[in-house]
Amino acid sequence: MALVRRALVSDAQAIAQVHVESWRSTYAGIVPDSFLAQLDEAERAMQWREWLAQDVLILVAETEEEVVGFSSGGAIREPVEDCDAELYAIYLLERAQRSKIGTELLRQIAAALRERGFRSMAVWVLEKNRCKGFYLKQDAGYARSKEIEIGGAMLMEEAYTWSDLKSLGSGDFKLTR
């Protein structure tokens, strides 16, 4: 099992690697290949260093060998239902999927958001994302959809919500580091 902890600035490169690799495996055949091919780990690492230096809520899941996933969340960026928080990102390396690590990242980000005073959460998911069933298994409800542009392609994105963050686990937010 993986350890979930608060991300450190020193995790930026590992998060960038997970980010790029998971986009390429998850969105192949959905997002234009040219867009996926131009994703740059070094550029992403610089962005993650900036975000990690701010007060952005980012968690990582690591095994003894490596960081295998991350999640990020905070205040809602675009109104969805009555949600006040948003799961900005949750990504896992393909080899770490279906191992309960994603569930633990989701549960811990929900607990951390509750600790910060949030009560409900939304997440945006590409309609053709083969992993969107993960959110349904976690009792997220469909809210609405919209069209977005990625790499020159117009894609449908769906919002799923949890009206009560407590539904994702009643435990306290207790992470290492």
Pick the CATH number of 3-168 from 3.40.1260.10, 3.20.20.60, 3.40.630.30, 2.40.30.10: 3.40.630.30
Backbone angles phi, psi at 43, to 5 degrees: -65, -45
- pLDDT string in tens for the chain (177-residue length): 688 999 999 999 999 999 999 999 999 999 999 999 999 999 999 999 999 998 789 999 998 889 999 999 999 999 999 999 999 999 999 888 877 899 999 999 999 999 999 999 999 999 999 889 999 999 999 999 999 999 999 999 999 999 999 998 754 444 444
Domain ranges of the chain: 3-168
Burial 4-35 (b: 16+ CB within 10 A, else e): bbbbeeebbbbbbbbbbbbbebbbeeebeeee
pTM of the model: 0.91
